[in-house]
Structure 1
């Protein structure tokens, strides 16, 4: 009797276990219900008092009497993307394996952010902490919205959308607002997610407008040029703000896409007007610089003077040039303004800044861009210093070659892209250093390897005897210089140019990071040419980056690409998810997924829907 009562509960329990196993592991399942995802613990700063300074309604000191309207009409833009042939089943399977590996890396870092930095700007991936680098409004959260959509992570997107109401753009504990970075990360993230979901989630456009209303006040100066490192509390107190006498070109010239798209979506002309006034000034000044066609790195935006003698397409200048063909596309070619500005810029760029590097592979067209660091009359002092930020230019030149019908520029685009791939491949970690020097070729069309010339460039002296040769060999060994590289000015990945600004202003720079620019050009070049060797390069680069930067909670900055086991610097910028991994994912996606003929990507890799012929 007793033994029978004991057997019955055991049999029942066994039946329930089997039934549960069949239910959860054998029966077909749809996507995991959103209710099963654990809501992340908010790390949002709760110390901001209700009586904190808030930027609500501000009376404009310099109101606009008449807004510049969006241009009307329609012009056909040439097709950008390659006509890809159908892939074989084996090719598809191999591609999807690589795409899924990128997605796994994204989720690994995203989950670390959710667990330890939710609602804050950045994750500390080594220790599990967080930083507020961009005013504490949740930069990684907002910057990653469109990546979640692109990768089909619907449940994660829902969690992110539910958190957006907590973001209050009217106040921050930060003393300044970096206008450029806030616009490209936050506004770009909202707009791209809105475009990709075709307006399905009203909160996205609403938050973009909230941010636009707030940051529009940074343009309320005597000449309507923005105060790019905006002392927002002065505006909140109805005190006057002034444009800077030393503003970087990138901060001035890289606001157009986000503000233009916001006007297209809302019909409010003030956003387009704000950036168009800036670009009108740049257009006027383009022919008045010391190198007509290019703008100096630094501009006096208070008096609109362009007399600085430093020129580059790298740090502090880069995206101003990137946005010329992209704004042309976003406006549906309804104005010729950006074509004119681009063609002037590219002509001066090709003539003055592009150079070929001497490498052991004489058949490889490795191109980089120089800096002009000083000018005296027509005499220019060049610095043959590639840096990772310049790697965007291959993709930009390729887009310009297509949309402006400049096929002769495509070889330059290929060479610039290949230069950055070469710089990755020659380093021990397989990762390109931030800033380095190379031996320039004396002739671009014929450049045989010259060991003695390389050594001479390493010590900046002609090799005249054995002692000088030994000096060069010792320096090569000490600095870990691969053939062709003459110096490594900075052996790490760095932050964006806003961090370089902080270095210049405050004298310190502590964080170094993985950059997306080379992968950006690989993505664009692959979509334009269909060259599958670019996918091979991207996969090689991804594996090396993932290996070097993966930490306990995410992916971290590293201190030296010359060391096979570099030090992790405990910083994960939002663009790791928003750009680097997004470009990699798209490289291994179907070519029509975020087609360049349907979308134009911002400098933060946010896809904005290209307008139809009607202009909307």
Structure 2
């Protein structure tokens, strides 16, 4: 993304926090039911030899496909059978580049690849088979079941970057992972779906290696057991050992993105295997979103928290495109592309939700340079008349630029491409506004009264700073002590955790518009990030991006801002999008491929 995606930035809802509190656990759970245990899994070393890390020298023969289904589906929903439609062209018709342009692009792409290789080699040396490498300590983290999240997440990257020998080593290790073991008692079904199932499927689509498809099916068999409930809706924070012990039912408190962002991976698995059960599992969820779209407190959108046990997605009053909702909306145009435009529900869901979001969630910030940019905020609404905007910005919300741009092309809505440009430009602006050239996780600014015209008002900004920061009456002291660049009224989360969303939208918008300033923006972002995050091993998340380089150099930060964290999406998404923005446009063309929310490319269903 737990923003839903990736360990959320922050959760304003107590219920959501309680949902998440059990997920951040390290170590090995000692309980076991049936043949399912929580020991560390077996993986292969880079030389292809097995490296058994479990308490037993034998790999379990347990297979999820053999676990009986307690609540079988009476009639499966089949994949659409109509021939794919000829959808509008997404990518810009790039003219031939000059030798100078080719040389600059090539140098920049090589720099990105060099950073990836450095991180990959450190992971290979210090954390092979584990979920994540600690970029400062060289230690390991296994918060995603211990199923090599960084390994699986980067299979497609190794192929795309033409690291075929490394790809083969990684495939050999990945396909022998033992799903009868886990390092966590609770599995995040969403994260496992987008990282592992999505990772194996993308690598299969790229390489055609059937070992990867077989492993994708094995993950699918495990994950679909989370759907084995009376109403066939999934348990998004799922305890496999509990499931093996008896009947289970969906939860009453579920994050909307976690239940609403499974369809791309399950649909692609159905497409490549021909088995309807994968598509059926997610199609019934989509039908609920469709049926309840106009029955929420902000019709068109769905709230952050929904009730899966009672199949009610309407009761909560908090609406956002950002953390905890993000990929729900992102998947509407992408599913339209994946299915070749033959399932009309996805356009309906996109059109209805984006019309509401444009009206209530998007806002123009007041900036010193009067920049014509947009951001996406939160809305609390008991009804449309009472809808109240919180003008908050999030790094995670930067995906919205790419979503609007892609939706605008696929659905022939030029106005949405323009909205996507302004949202992307808003993230680029925020990167430039911070002293390190890196955008913070969460912040607030002053919303303009009009999106058409907005003039900088110093006094208004200073007054808002005082209202949002009550620890002093001295406004100049507040601005200095909180290190607030002009325009920012509060920075509530100063971290940068190696997120991909800004470069994701820069990449998508560049491929759609061909505008060269986007490549320049991407290079500025890349160099700023690498300069601040590089460690002796790899790249580290930052705790505070509001310090200047001079303050960092002088040690006036109260300690190092680098954290011992490098989530798998740093290599899998952030570096992939940086690499692709400097690739030839036909490398993973958006007219032939569509990315899941973990940047794994799936082949689009195209007309013959």
2:503 pairs with 1:519: yes
* Partner secondary structure for residue 600 of structure 1: strand
State the shift of 1:444 in Å.
Answer: 1.3
| 1:84–1:376 distance in 2 versus 1, CA, 3 Å | closer
Deviation string for 1:334-355 (max 9, x for gaps)? 1111001100001001111111
Tell me the residue number matched to 1:458: 465
Tell me the residue number matched to 2:586: 592
Picking from 441, 449, 460, the partner of 1:442 is 449
2:431 pairs with 1:395: no
State the shift of 1:376 in Å.
Answer: 6.2
Picking from 84, 89, 98, the partner of 2:94 is 84
2:132 pairs with 1:122: yes
* Partner secondary structure for residue 329 of structure 1: helix
Taking the TM superposition and a 5 Å limit, the aligned residue runs for 1:495-534 are 513-534=497-518
Deviation string for 1:129-183 (max 9, x for gaps)? 1110100011100000000011011111111112123301232232111100001
Picking from 105, 109, 119, the partner of 2:119 is 109
State the shift of 1:118 in Å.
Answer: 0.2
Q: Partners in 1 of 2:147 and 2:216 — Cα distance? A: 13
Picking from 546, 558, 578, the partner of 2:530 is 546
Tell me the residue number matched to 1:39: 47
Structure 1: runs of 5 or more not aligned: 1-36, 463-467, 494-512
Tell me the residue number matched to 1:249: 256
Deviation string for 1:57-102 (max 9, x for gaps)? 2221210111101112231110000000111001100100000000
Q: Partners in 2 of 1:115 and 1:390 — Cα distance? A: 34
Tell me the residue number matched to 2:28: none
State the shift of 1:51 in Å.
Answer: 9.8
> Does the aligned pair in 2 maintain the 1:55–1:233 contact within 8 Å?
no
* Partner secondary structure for residue 188 of structure 1: helix
> Does the aligned pair in 1 maintain the 2:90–2:512 contact within 8 Å?
yes
2:226 pairs with 1:218: yes
* Partner secondary structure for residue 372 of structure 1: strand
Q: Partners in 1 of 2:199 and 2:534 — Cα distance? A: 25
State the shift of 1:613 in Å.
Answer: 2.0
State the shift of 1:365 in Å.
Answer: 1.1
Q: Partners in 2 of 1:87 and 1:590 — Cα distance? A: 10
State the shift of 1:456 in Å.
Answer: 1.0
Q: Partners in 1 of 2:404 and 2:56 — Cα distance? A: 46
| 1:601–1:38 distance in 2 versus 1, CA, 3 Å | closer
Picking from 353, 377, 383, the partner of 1:345 is 353
Deviation string for 1:495-548 (max 9, x for gaps)? xxxxxxxxxxxxxxxxxx111000000000000000110000000000111111
State the shift of 1:55 in Å.
Answer: 5.9
> Does the aligned pair in 2 maintain the 1:40–1:118 contact within 8 Å?
no
Tell me the residue number matched to 1:320: 328
Q: Partners in 2 of 1:589 and 1:376 — Cα distance? A: 47
> Does the aligned pair in 1 maintain the 2:60–2:180 contact within 8 Å?
no
* Partner secondary structure for residue 378 of structure 1: helix
State the shift of 1:461 in Å.
Answer: 8.3
> Does the aligned pair in 1 maintain the 2:85–2:606 contact within 8 Å?
no
Deviation string for 1:560-607 (max 9, x for gaps)? 011233522111111111100000000000011000001001100000
> Does the aligned pair in 2 maintain the 1:384–1:438 contact within 8 Å?
yes
Q: Partners in 2 of 1:50 and 1:221 — Cα distance? A: 32
State the shift of 1:236 in Å.
Answer: 2.1
Tell me the residue number matched to 1:34: none
Tell me the residue number matched to 1:506: none
| 1:204–1:366 distance in 2 versus 1, CA, 3 Å | same
Deviation string for 1:109-144 (max 9, x for gaps)? 000100000001000111111110100011100000
Q: Partners in 2 of 1:229 and 1:588 — Cα distance? A: 38
Q: Which deviates more from structure 2 when the two are superposed, residues 278-287 or residues 81-90?
A: 278-287
State the shift of 1:375 in Å.
Answer: 3.2
| 1:38–1:404 distance in 2 versus 1, CA, 3 Å | closer
> Does the aligned pair in 2 maintain the 1:53–1:233 contact within 8 Å?
no
| 1:348–1:163 distance in 2 versus 1, CA, 3 Å | same
* Partner secondary structure for residue 436 of structure 1: strand
> Does the aligned pair in 2 maintain the 1:53–1:171 contact within 8 Å?
no
Tell me the residue number matched to 1:26: none
2:411 pairs with 1:404: yes
Q: Partners in 2 of 1:309 and 1:531 — Cα distance? A: 39
Tell me the residue number matched to 1:487: 490
Tell me the residue number matched to 1:189: 199
Picking from 167, 177, 182, the partner of 2:187 is 177
* Partner secondary structure for residue 282 of structure 2: helix
* Partner secondary structure for residue 243 of structure 1: coil
Q: Partners in 2 of 1:329 and 1:472 — Cα distance? A: 50
Tell me the residue number matched to 1:300: 307
* Partner secondary structure for residue 363 of structure 2: strand
Q: Partners in 2 of 1:40 and 1:386 — Cα distance? A: 46
Tell me the residue number matched to 1:310: 318
> Does the aligned pair in 1 maintain the 2:374–2:426 contact within 8 Å?
yes
Taking the TM superposition and a 5 Å limit, the aligned residue runs for 1:577-588 are 577-588=571-582
Q: Partners in 2 of 1:86 and 1:290 — Cα distance? A: 50
2:604 pairs with 1:604: no
Deviation string for 1:186-222 (max 9, x for gaps)? 011111111111x1x2110010001111111000011
State the shift of 1:320 in Å.
Answer: 0.4
Tell me the residue number matched to 1:65: 74
> Does the aligned pair in 2 maintain the 1:516–1:579 contact within 8 Å?
yes
Q: Partners in 2 of 1:276 and 1:79 — Cα distance? A: 27
> Does the aligned pair in 2 maintain the 1:395–1:413 contact within 8 Å?
yes
Q: Partners in 1 of 2:541 and 2:52 — Cα distance? A: 23
Q: Partners in 1 of 2:518 and 2:355 — Cα distance? A: 27
Tell me the residue number matched to 1:142: 152
Q: Partners in 2 of 1:116 and 1:44 — Cα distance? A: 16
Deviation string for 1:15-64 (max 9, x for gaps)? xxxxxxxxxxxxxxxxxxxxxx9738977632257698956422212101
Q: Partners in 1 of 2:227 and 2:419 — Cα distance? A: 37
Q: Partners in 2 of 1:443 and 1:281 — Cα distance? A: 35
* Partner secondary structure for residue 372 of structure 2: coil
Structure 2: runs of 5 or more not aligned: 1-44, 553-559
Tell me the residue number matched to 1:576: 570
Tell me the residue number matched to 2:289: 282
> Does the aligned pair in 1 maintain the 2:297–2:383 contact within 8 Å?
no
User: TM-score when scaled to structure 2?
Assistant: 0.88
* Partner secondary structure for residue 393 of structure 2: coil
